[in-house]
Chain A
Amino acid sequence: MTLSHCIALSLILCGIGLFGMLTRRNLLGILLSVEVILNGANLNFAAFAHFKAADPVAGAIFPIFVMAVSACEIAVALAIILSMYRRKKRLDVYRLEELNG
């Protein structure tokens, strides 16, 4: 397993996530896609830290940060989605247009 494999995997993850974000109509699905992209990024961090950095621990800290922050963010996002679902009884982003500018 080389760095290239890891980068390829993270690119695939990013692509899947991006595809999901662009195509899913369900807000929850989009949220999941965001998670996939973040994980792709985390994999990149970890892989570069493992193969290139003098001190691999320093590189491993970044994915942990990202996970912590995304966990908080997801919690907020889920709260918003839940309240929205309670109001509208639907999560189709094409139908939630009253929030546009």
Chain B
Amino acid sequence: MADFIFSHSYLILLCPLLSFVLIGLGYLRSDNKFVSKFAITLSAISLSYALLTALTYLISVMGHHGLPYPEKIALDGAWLNFTPTLTANMGIYLDPISVMMLVVITVISLLVNIYSVGYMKGDPSFNRFFALLALFSFSMLGLVVSSNILQMFVFWELVGVSSYSLIGFWYEKPSAVAASKKAFIMTRFADAFFLLGILLVSFQSGSFSFQTLNSPETAALLNKNFIFAGMSINMLTLGTLLVFCGGWGKSAMFPLHVWLPDAMEGPTPVSSIIHSATMVVAGVYLTARMFPLFAAAETTLFVIQCIGAFTALFAAVIAITQMDIKRILAFSTLSQLGYMIFSLGAAKVCVEGGGHHEASVNLLGYSAAMYHVFTHAFFKCMLFLGAGAIIHAVHSNDIMKMGGLKSLMPKTYWSLFAACLAIAGVFPLSGFWSKDAILLSALQSGHYITFLVGLVTGGLTAFYMFRFFFLIFHGEARSELHHVHEDPWMTWPIVFLTIPTIFAGLLEHFFVHRVIPPHFEEAAHFAHPGWLPWLATLAAFLGIGGAWVLYGKGKTEAATSLKRLFGPLYTIVYNKFYMDEVWLFFTHTVVFSYIAAPIKWFDRKVVDGSMDLTGWILQVGGKGVRLAQSGQLQFYLGATVIGLIVFLFLG
């Protein structure tokens, strides 16, 4: 029975694909209402099957007493035969994290579909939106169940393409087009390194499948040095770093983060699904998927940890100053992704024992990261959906034009209140548990600076989320509001999401102790300082308190004077540390004029020039030959006779 369910788990992917094909090809062109119903129904089927699969998986592995949970290859078929020994398969891979992601993605996708009915009402491209949304879900589902890295890369790129078309959904807007191109090119840039990493790792290990790649044998095989340009480079470090580059771009870690805030140009449901369950968590997921291999490469883990911690703090600082409702959330996502990434990087403890350097793995970092992916998906999705509902009502993205929406949108108000508390890490909401687990893993592993960064970021998160919350809902309305009402299509998904937002904390034990990679045993016990939750909560309340003092009364005078006090510093932060400008400088000045321009010259003058020369020679030669073709038989005959005589005398 279980096998029957597993072997049909392709249905989870098939439903969105079918929805994409049928709606996309225009078979259901006639009727918006029918299209949305169709999309929602297929999405619901997909969700039900995902739940069924998850349940079956749980039941079938519950009987398996030893940890960790085994992985299952539900479907497996040969796909590409490169050499007799190197074959890429297409398969469905079920292990704790992929099953978890299946459920999360299908839940979010269904809710976003329902929400979109309200949000996209009256849009001329209503059907195209649902088709692309289905493609997006399909690609992401395919990504998480991939059984080998090459298959994952295919879906990885599909996610990129569908996000490109969704971010640039309103293609008549130049900013949307620019944003979609930026997202696509930046992630492609990182994917190029990812592909190199795949080639390196798979070529060395002779396999694409995650099971082989994650085995200790592969790590041992890769762990050798080679000399390149006078430097000794470790193959394992290089390979894992290159693979991580893919995640670097998709999860928008510093300095490749600049595409994510711009991606807000897409419709809000798209932002919601990109930021909660798909696309940006793909990078975290990739890191987790390859974790056993990464764990063998200490340098890579250290890089991952540094990048994650830096991005978390960096994005949180920027989020404090932003005025655009969706941009605040975008930077908040970056910051939370930083948490997940550094948590994965911190899952390694260095123990100095008996004079020699030893390293062991603290799997809490891994489980905590996956747990945060899980909880974050729900409240971040809800925050975005809420932001969309507010934008829909106010017709502006500027939080300075909002205010006083509490009485007008009560359901949204209370739901977002829960989400803000959750993301700020207040007991007993879901965010508290996952963030606490992440901080604990950093502390246990002895990475005190990372721990401190996490703690400070937690306080900042609470501050900017409640700044956002108070400015929108409290105080007097700062602009004229007409006909603000809550559309049920949009409100109910938001309200529904409060359930996991509040209660996902109950799953903490399950996640932390069960969701660990199949190649590891549960780690030894680490100390669990009792003061940590208090400290984290204190940071959160400090942040909320700060926000209340500055913005809670709906007044912004105190904030304005503080802004003036910080003057230039504020300007720098408000302009996102000028990272966009740095990139522009890099691409326009460095790349365009010092790399692209010489190449263009070479192409135009040398490559095209030689081709043009060939053409010119042929043309002139043709003209000469044509002169000889007079059609005069006697001329031909004369030439023949003379030629014959010449040959006779020569030969």
**Could you say which of B626, B633, B638 contacts A93, with CB atoms under 8 Å apart?**
B633
The CA-CA distance from A21 to B640 in the complex, in Å, is 12
Main secondary structure of the interface of B (DSSP, over half): helix
- Which chain B positions have C-beta within 8 A of A30? 633-634
The CA-CA distance from A22 to B638 in the complex, in Å, is 7
- Which chain B positions have C-beta within 8 A of A93? 632-634
Closest 8 CB pairs of A and B: A100-B631, A101-B629, A22-B634, A22-B638, A100-B630, A21-B637, A99-B631, A101-B631
Residues of A within 8 A of B (CB): 18, 21-22, 30, 93-94, 97, 99-101
Q: Contact check, A18 vs B641: say whether CB atoms are below 8 A apart.
A: yes
**Could you say which of A18, A21, A97 contacts B631, with CB atoms under 8 Å apart?**
A97
How near does chain B come to A30, taking the closest CB pair, in angstroms? 8
- Which chain A positions have C-beta within 8 A of B626? 101
The CA-CA distance from A30 to B632 in the complex, in Å, is 12
- Which chain A positions have C-beta within 8 A of B629? 100-101
How near does chain B come to A49, taking the closest CB pair, in angstroms? 25
How near does chain B come to A85, taking the closest CB pair, in angstroms? 17
The CA-CA distance from A20 to B647 in the complex, in Å, is 23
10 contacts between A and B (CB under 8 A): A18-B637, A18-B641, A21-B634, A21-B637, A30-B633, A30-B634, A93-B632, A97-B631, A100-B629, A100-B630
Contact with A along B8-40 (1 / 0, CB 8 A): 000000000000000000000000000000000
Contact with A along B63-83 (1 / 0, CB 8 A): 000000000000000000000
Q: Contact check, A22 vs B631: say whether CB atoms are below 8 A apart.
A: no
- Which chain B positions have C-beta within 8 A of A94? 632
- Which chain B positions have C-beta within 8 A of A99? 631
- Given A18-B641, A22-B637, A101-B631, 17 other A-B contacts at CB below 8 A? A18-B637, A21-B634, A21-B637, A22-B634, A30-B633, A30-B634, A93-B632, A93-B634, A94-B632, A97-B630, A97-B632, A99-B631, A100-B629, A100-B631, A100-B632, A101-B626, A101-B629
B638 and chain A: residue at smallest CB distance: A22
Residues of B within 8 A of A (CB): 626, 629-634, 637-638, 641
The CA-CA distance from A94 to B630 in the complex, in Å, is 11
- Which chain B positions have C-beta within 8 A of A21? 634, 637
How near does chain B come to A63, taking the closest CB pair, in angstroms? 23
- Which chain B positions have C-beta within 8 A of A100? 629-632
How near does chain B come to A15, taking the closest CB pair, in angstroms? 10
The CA-CA distance from A99 to B637 in the complex, in Å, is 17
How near does chain B come to A38, taking the closest CB pair, in angstroms? 15
How near does chain A come to B210, taking the closest CB pair, in angstroms? 68
How near does chain B come to A91, taking the closest CB pair, in angstroms? 13
The CA-CA distance from A47 to B626 in the complex, in Å, is 43
- Which chain A positions have C-beta within 8 A of B641? 18, 22
The CA-CA distance from A40 to B630 in the complex, in Å, is 29
B631 and chain A: residue at smallest CB distance: A100
B641 and chain A: residue at smallest CB distance: A18
B633 and chain A: residue at smallest CB distance: A93
The CA-CA distance from A82 to B7 in the complex, in Å, is 86
How near does chain A come to B646, taking the closest CB pair, in angstroms? 16
The CA-CA distance from A101 to B632 in the complex, in Å, is 10
The CA-CA distance from A34 to B631 in the complex, in Å, is 18
- Which chain B positions have C-beta within 8 A of A22? 634, 637-638, 641
How near does chain A come to B497, taking the closest CB pair, in angstroms? 80
The CA-CA distance from A30 to B629 in the complex, in Å, is 20
The CA-CA distance from A18 to B636 in the complex, in Å, is 12
How near does chain A come to B220, taking the closest CB pair, in angstroms? 75
- Which chain A positions have C-beta within 8 A of B631? 97, 99-101
How near does chain B come to A90, taking the closest CB pair, in angstroms? 16
The CA-CA distance from A101 to B630 in the complex, in Å, is 7
- Which chain A positions have C-beta within 8 A of B634? 21-22, 30, 93
How near does chain B come to A86, taking the closest CB pair, in angstroms? 21
The CA-CA distance from A22 to B626 in the complex, in Å, is 22
B629 and chain A: residue at smallest CB distance: A101
B630 and chain A: residue at smallest CB distance: A100
How near does chain B come to A25, taking the closest CB pair, in angstroms? 9
The CA-CA distance from A18 to B634 in the complex, in Å, is 10
How near does chain B come to A75, taking the closest CB pair, in angstroms? 19
A24 and chain B: residue at smallest CB distance: B634
The CA-CA distance from A94 to B629 in the complex, in Å, is 14
How near does chain A come to B43, taking the closest CB pair, in angstroms? 70
The CA-CA distance from A18 to B629 in the complex, in Å, is 21
- Which chain B positions have C-beta within 8 A of A18? 637, 641
The CA-CA distance from A15 to B637 in the complex, in Å, is 13
A98 and chain B: residue at smallest CB distance: B631
How near does chain B come to A12, taking the closest CB pair, in angstroms? 16
How near does chain A come to B629, taking the closest CB pair, in angstroms? 5
- Which chain A positions have C-beta within 8 A of B630? 97, 100
How near does chain A come to B89, taking the closest CB pair, in angstroms? 62
The CA-CA distance from A54 to B2 in the complex, in Å, is 97
- Which chain A positions have C-beta within 8 A of B637? 18, 21-22
The CA-CA distance from A22 to B633 in the complex, in Å, is 9
The CA-CA distance from A100 to B633 in the complex, in Å, is 10
The CA-CA distance from A54 to B631 in the complex, in Å, is 45
The CA-CA distance from A18 to B641 in the complex, in Å, is 9
The CA-CA distance from A62 to B13 in the complex, in Å, is 82
The CA-CA distance from A94 to B638 in the complex, in Å, is 15
A101 and chain B: residue at smallest CB distance: B629
